Every structure is written in C-alpha cells, then in structure tokens.
C-alpha cells in the first residue's frame, strides 16, 4: 500500500470546490489501486509554491510515496507543466548519481505523458527513486468529472511506471553525454561555476545546472539545519529560560535535592495565561500550562505559540477550551505536540504503541500538576489510542474531549469508556467524586490518531504510590473499528458503566453506587449524526474533514489575523482597523476588506484577504 499526498492546485475556484466535494470518493477509488490518501494540501499555482512544496512534501511520521497534483495544468501542450516543474526537475537531475558502468552517460529523469484524459488534455508522471509524481489538468477543461479523471490518470500512471521499471528502475534514464569542449586554460574556483564571456553554450548550461544544484543543496541543507538543529535549540532555550524563572534550586531546610514549588508570582508576570505546571518525572515533560480564553474549535492560540506569545511550531502545553472551568474542571484536558526530538508530549508514546509498555508505566504511574492555588498529583488510570475521524469507528465515535458532565452517572460512564480502551489495566480505584486530568497528543499508528493518558487526582490523605506490580497489559483493549479492519479480530462489546457494574465486570470502582442522572455522553452524542450521512464528504460524515487557512493581511502583506476554518463554515472579518501610513500628499482611510469573488459564508478553499483604502488628497500647506 502506497501513502499519498493529494495537492489541490488553487487555479480555478470552481475546480477547487469540485475537488473538495469529491475528495472522499477519490480517496476510496484510488485506495483500490493500493494508494491511500493521507493528506490533502492546498497549493498556489506558481512555480515558487511548487518548488517549495516538492522539497518539503513529507509529513512527520508518514512516508509519502505518491504526490498527486490535481487541477494543475491548463494547456494541451507541455508548456504549463514546464512552467511549474522545470526548475525542480533540473535541480533534481543535477544531484542524480552518474552511471557506475559508463561515466560518459548523463542521468535524466524519465518524464512520461498520460494521454487522452479528455478534450485533448494530457497529464504527466515521473518517478525519482521511491517518489512518484502525477500531474493532472483542470477537470473542467477535460470535460470529465474530477473523481473519474483522477482515478483514470492514476491507473494509467501506474501502468506507465510498471512499463518503465526495467529500463528506468528508479525513474532515471542514462543518455549519452556530448563531449565537453577542450579546455584551453585552467579556471579558478569562482570562474568554474559562473558563466562568463567566451564560454560555449554547453558550458554555460553546465555552469547554470551546477549553480542550481549548489543552490538546491544550500536550501535543502538550510531547511534540515533549521528543522533538526535551530528549532530544537531555540525551543530548548525558551524552555530553559522559564525553568530558571519557575524553579528555586534549594529549600529553606537546606535540602538541595528537594525543589520548591513554582514561583507563581514571577510566572504570572511573564504571562498571565500561565495557569499550571505539569511534570512527568524522568521525562522531558516539565512545562508551563497555558490557557487562552479566545480558543474555540477552529483556533487554539497556544497550538503554535510559546509562553512568550511568539510563533513556534512546537507550541505550548495548553488547556482545551472544552474544560470550561479551567484547571478546576471535572476533566482538565491538556494538549501538547508530539515532537520527534523528545520534547513537549512526545514522552507519552513511551506508554506503548498498539500494546501497553508495562516497564514505562511502572516507572511513570503519577503525573504532577501544580496550580497557583495548590500542588497536585494524579494517578494514571488509562492509556489509550483513539481517532479523531468519525469514519474510523463505523459510526460509533467516542469523543474523549469532554471537560464537564451533567451528572455523576455520565461522569462514571465516561471513566468506563476510557478504561475499557486502556492498553494497561492500571490498579487505581475511581469514583464519582474524583477529578480527572487528560493528556492528549498526536500519534501515527493510523491517520488522525491520538495517544491519550487519563489520570485522577490524589484524594485527601492518599499516598502518592501505586502498586504497579499488579498492573497488566490489557489484551482486550477497545480500539476504533479501523484497527480491526487492518489487524483482524472483532471489537469487544461496549456496555455502559451501570450495566458493566451490575454484571460484576468492574473491579476499579469504590463509590457509593447510587449514581443519579443519565449515562448519555453529551459530547459523544453531539459528535455522532442521528443517521448515516448520505454524502461521504459531509461534515461529520464518513471521511476527511478539511480545514482551510483564511488570512487577513495588512497593506504590506504582513499577517493581520489568521484562522483555520472548517469546510463549509462561514468567516466573519476581524475587528479593528488596519492602517496605511500617511505620506506627503494623501491620507488613507480603511473602507473594508476586498472580498469580491470570495464566498465567506461557505468556505471551500484557502484565502488571503487584503484591506481596501481610499486616498484623500491633503490640502496644500499654508505659507
């Protein structure tokens, strides 16, 4: 099975919308050809955008085998293909290895035409080692429905790749290289790579190709250095800075081994939105917890901002907006990125992948969660894997992101649901009077999966110890339906807390037992439609839910306000008044946002929206 990233080229809004509406049907259709769509990405129809995305198309945690560009071409000849891919292909060819058998042969990428896609329009495909590229024309120009166009083109491309396998196994053809002109004199290093007067045409081309290769190497090296050296270093620096602020190294008793509590006065001066501190001893989880009051389903501020409020892909650990009573909520839900360098919530993966890791759990059964009011310790009661995709669970989606409950019965039914999913049978009792702490991070066992760790607060007078020796791996842990579709087996029966308790199936409850109210999980009910969606792409239905970036910018193109909008939702322009600096002759007045041709009531593609200003001529200055 090949993993695929499907690119929606933003060339024609009608074609973009048609692709969005058909994305799930397309994914299902090409899945039959052993191609699984993992990502759908919007891309501008410019050479610069293509070159950038071609160099950075792999997503962390998933190896991409196929890159399919839909609605990219608008000419019957190859000119539109060349305008988008010329520089990338030339750069790639310059870095290809020479033939070991014959040094006189030149490596070239084998580009094949995908013929007869409709109305005289063709597509193109090529391969570079394990990467396959398929480029398609605008569906509206071919006269073919986009689903049929993509399916037909992908099947034809696969046949082409198979035909080329023997002669060009890595997508590379070796051709005879013309003899280089005889060198009359030695050139210095600089002149060896810079075209100059007197060079032959072939030598100019050679130097340009070498220059492009050097530039490509520098850009790629800079990207790798930034991702794997600079970003981790900067994140480590800001983490170290706040540790210095938060911690004192000794106690008043003179015991250097016992740290004092966090310095909340200093932390609040740094950022009033720091509401707690979380620690998992023996791991890198030792971070401030932030909460942004403006968060909602489409915008979580600290998902990509540090405690200094500067942008960072590492983000911060933050409280989910559904925990409406902040750190006093019945279930305090925290989010943190799974960063490959081991920072943020990456350590949660130590509890297991699709099977519980008892050794890690035994070393880390307790989470420390301190607030300005009090220090707290929480005993882990569940470690489970779940999906954020409705169709991964055959219409029985469990929404673990529930911060409050309408009754004790609902709360205990929620606890029952997280415990039957746990990879580990944690020997910790729970009842309706307990408070929960839920840690959530991305994981990559399936697309859209999450690793979730749930713990309950230490009770008054209770010791911070767990008899981990009696913990066991849960061989009957409940997974989403997609797990059983891939690995076989059948999903265990899911009851409710009251039914399971009455049957003697629960040995971890120590409450009064007289639970009042409905057991219905309100957030889970909201997440599941009352009947099967008729359209696979419908929101809440059986497929990908797309989000698009809508960016409002200042007069100079800098960011004014950006949000992520779910497909089909509306956008309200931000408040405030963008300004355009005055000059010697005119005053400028903001008159609104330029939205002509944009449907803000039904978002189906990414947008960049600019401000509109009227200019008023200044009166002449009096002498």
Residues 425-442 have pLDDT tens digits of 999 999 999 999 999 999
Using the Cα atoms of residue 518, residue 522, residue 524 and residue 529 in order, give the sign of their dihedral.
Answer: positive
* Residue 254 confidence (pLDDT) above 60: no
% of the chain beyond a pLDDT of 90: 46
Q: Look at the pTM and tell me if it is higher than 0.75.
A: no
Return the active site residues: 442
CA-closest candidate to residue 283, choices 380, 374, 361: 361
Q: What is the pLDDT of residues 215-230, one digit of tens each?
A: 777 766 666 565 556 6
* Residue 259 confidence (pLDDT) above 50: no
132, 149, 176 - which closes a domain: 176
Torsions phi, psi of 172, nearest 5? -120, 130
Q: Are residues 232 and 277 in the same domain?
A: no
Lookup: tokens for 530: 């009352």
Confidence of residue 178 (pLDDT cuts 50, 70, 90): very low
CATH number for the domain that contains residue 483: 2.40.260.10
Q: For residue 368, is it within any domain?
A: yes
Q: What is the pLDDT of residues 36-88, one digit of tens each?
A: 988 888 899 888 888 888 877 544 445 889 999 999 999 999 888 998 988 88
| Mean pLDDT score, 137-144 | 92
Q: What is the pLDDT of residues 516-568, one digit of tens each?
A: 899 999 998 887 765 544 443 333 333 445 566 788 888 777 788 887 777 77
Q: Indicate the helix (H) or strand (E) that contains 614.
A: strand 611-617
Q: For residue 536, is it within any domain?
A: no
Are the beta carbons of 349 and 451 closer than 8 angstroms?
Answer: yes
- Tally of domains within the chain: 4
492, 524, 556 - which closes a domain: 524
Q: In whole numbers, what is the pLDDT of the chain averaged over residues?
A: 84
* Residue 341 confidence (pLDDT) above 90: no
Q: Are residues 168 and 186 in the same domain?
A: no
| Mean pLDDT score, 120-149 | 93
Distance separating alpha carbons of residues 334 and 541, to the nearest angstrom: 26
Question: How many C-beta atoms surround the C-beta of residue 331 within 10 A?
Answer: 24
Write the CB contacts of 112 (distance below 8 Å, at least 6 apart in sequence): 124, 125, 126, 157, 160, 164
More confidently predicted of 141 and 225: 141
First vs last Cα of the chain: how many Å apart?
80
129, 148, 176 - which closes a domain: 176
3-state class (DSSP) for residue 289: strand
Q: Are residues 326 and 411 in the same domain?
A: yes
Lookup: tokens for 301: 């501020």
Q: Are residues 141 and 199 in the same domain?
A: no
- Alpha-carbon distances, residue 274 vs 31, 236, 309, 319, 511 (angstroms): 45, 18, 11, 10, 34
CA-closest candidate to residue 300, choices 547, 576, 602, 42: 547
Q: Indicate the helix (H) or strand (E) that contains 415.
A: helix 408-420
Write the CB contacts of 303 (distance below 8 Å, at least 6 apart in sequence): 315, 318, 335, 337
Q: For residue 442, is it within any domain?
A: yes
Q: Are residues 200 and 299 in the same domain?
A: no
**Minimum mean pLDDT range among 6-20, 254-268, 276-290, 605-619:** 254-268
* Residue 187 confidence (pLDDT) above 60: no
CB crowding 50-73: b at 16 or more within 10 Å, else e: bbbbbeebeeeeeebbbbbbbbbb
Q: Are residues 126 and 185 in the same domain?
A: no
CATH number for the domain that contains residue 149: 3.40.50.2300
Q: Indicate the helix (H) or strand (E) that contains 361.
A: helix 358-363
Distance separating alpha carbons of residues 611 and 545, to the nearest angstrom: 29
Q: Are residues 202 and 329 in the same domain?
A: no
Q: What is the pLDDT of residues 446-467, one digit of tens each?
A: 878 899 999 999 999 999 999 9
Question: Which domain does 187 fall in, by range?
Answer: 181-255
Q: For residue 540, is it within any domain?
A: no
Q: Are residues 57 and 169 in the same domain?
A: yes
Amino acid 39: pLDDT: 85
Q: For residue 622, is it within any domain?
A: no
Q: Are residues 189 and 282 in the same domain?
A: no
**126 half-sphere exposure, CB direction, 13 A CA radius:** 16
**75 half-sphere exposure, CB direction, 13 A CA radius:** 8
Q: Are residues 240 and 278 in the same domain?
A: no
Confidence of residue 176 (pLDDT cuts 50, 70, 90): low
Q: For residue 10, is it within any domain?
A: yes
Amino acid 185: pLDDT: 46
Q: For residue 582, is it within any domain?
A: yes
Q: For residue 213, is it within any domain?
A: yes
Q: What is the pLDDT of residues 81-111, one digit of tens each?
A: 998 988 888 888 888 887 766 677 888 899 9
Write the CB contacts of 537 (distance below 8 Å, at least 6 apart in sequence): 20, 21, 22, 23, 24, 25, 543, 544
Q: What is the pLDDT of residues 302-324, one digit of tens each?
A: 998 999 998 888 899 999 999 99
CATH number for the domain that contains residue 557: 2.60.40.4270
% of the chain beyond a pLDDT of 70: 84
Are the beta carbons of 437 and 326 closer than 8 angstroms?
Answer: no
Q: Are residues 481 and 494 in the same domain?
A: yes
CB-neighbour burial class of residue 257 (10 A; exposed 0-12, middle 13-18, buried 19+): exposed
CB crowding 10-38: b at 16 or more within 10 Å, else e: bbbeebbbbbbbbbbbbbebbeebebbbb
Q: Are residues 7 and 113 in the same domain?
A: yes
Distance separating alpha carbons of residues 129 and 270, to the nearest angstrom: 50
């Amino acid at each position: 099975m090949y993993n695929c990233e499907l690119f929606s080229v933003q060339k024609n809004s009608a074609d973009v919308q048609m692709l969005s509406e058909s994305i799930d049907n397309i994914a299902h259709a090409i899945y039959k050809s052993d191609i699984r769509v993992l990502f759908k990405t919007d891309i501008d129809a410019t050479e610069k955008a293509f070159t950038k995305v071609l160099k950075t198309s792999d997503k962390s945690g998933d190896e991409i085998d196929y890159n399919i560009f839909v609605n990219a071409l608008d000419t019957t000849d190859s000119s539109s293909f060349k305008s988008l891919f010329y520089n990338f292909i030339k750069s790639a060819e310059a870095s290809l290895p020479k033939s070991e058998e014959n040094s006189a042969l030149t490596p070239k990428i084998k580009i094949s035409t995908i013929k007869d896609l409709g109305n005289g329009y063709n597509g193109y495909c090529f391969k570079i080692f394990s990467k396959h590229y398929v480029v398609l024309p605008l569906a509206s120009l071919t006269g073919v429905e986009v689903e049929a166009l993509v399916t037909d083109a992908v099947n034809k491309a696969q046949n082409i790749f198979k035909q080329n396998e023997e002669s060009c196994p890595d997508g590379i053809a070796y051709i005879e290289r013309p003899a280089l002109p005889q060198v009359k004199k030695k050139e210095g290093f600089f002149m060896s790579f810079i075209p100059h007067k007197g060079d032959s045409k072939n030598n100019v081309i050679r130097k340009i190709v070498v220059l492009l290769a050097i530039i490509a190497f520098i850009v790629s090296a800079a990207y790798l250095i930034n991702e794997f050296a600079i970003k981790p270093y900067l994140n480590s620096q800001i983490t170290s800075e706040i540790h210095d602020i938060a911690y004192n190294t000794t106690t008043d008793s003179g015991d250097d081994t016992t740290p004092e509590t966090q310095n909340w006065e200093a932390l609040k001066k740094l950022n009033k939105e720091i509401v707690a501190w979380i620690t998992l001893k023996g791991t890198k989880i030792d971070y401030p917890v932030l909460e942004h009051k403006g968060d909602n389903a489409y915008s979580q501020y600290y998902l990509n901002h540090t405690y200094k409020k500067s942008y960072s892909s590492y983000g911060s650990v933050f409280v989910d907006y559904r925990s409406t009573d902040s750190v006093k909520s019945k279930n305090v839900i925290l989010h943190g990125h799974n960063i490959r360098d081991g920072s943020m919530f990456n350590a949660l993966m130590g509890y297991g992948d699709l099977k519980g890791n008892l050794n890690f759990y035994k070393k880390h059964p307790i989470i420390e969660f301190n607030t300005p009011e009090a220090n707290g310790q929480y005993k882990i009661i569940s470690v489970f894997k779940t999906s954020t995709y409705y169709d991964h669970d055959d219409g029985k989606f469990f929404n673990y992101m529930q911060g409050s409950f309408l009754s004790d019965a609902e709360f205990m039914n929620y606890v029952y649901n997280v415990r039957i999913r746990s990879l580990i049978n944690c020997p910790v009792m729970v009842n309706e009077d307990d408070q929960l702490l839920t840690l959530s991070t991305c994981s990559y066992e399936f697309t859209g999966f999450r690793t979730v760790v749930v713990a309950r607060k230490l009770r008054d007078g209770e010791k911070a110890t767990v008899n981990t020796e009696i913990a066991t791996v849960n061989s009957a842990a409940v997974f989403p339906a997609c797990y059983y579709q891939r690995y076989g087996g059948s999903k265990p029966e899911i009851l409710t807390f009251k039914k399971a308790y009455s049957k003697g199936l629960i040995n971890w409850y120590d409450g009064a037992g007289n639970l009042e109210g409905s057991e219905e999980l309100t957030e889970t009910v909201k997440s599941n439609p009352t009947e099967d969606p008729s359209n696979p792409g419908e929101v809440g239905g059986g497929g990908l839910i797309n989000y698009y970036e809508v960016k409002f910018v200042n007069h100079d193109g800098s960011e004014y306000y950006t949000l992520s909008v779910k497909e089909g939702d509306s956008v309200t322009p931000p408040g405030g008044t963008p300004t355009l600096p005055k000059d010697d002759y005119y005053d400028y007045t903001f008159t609104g946002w330029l939205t002509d041709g944009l449907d803000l009531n039904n978002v189906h593609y990414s947008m960049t929206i600019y401000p509109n200003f009227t200019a008023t001529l200044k009166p002449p200055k009096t002498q």
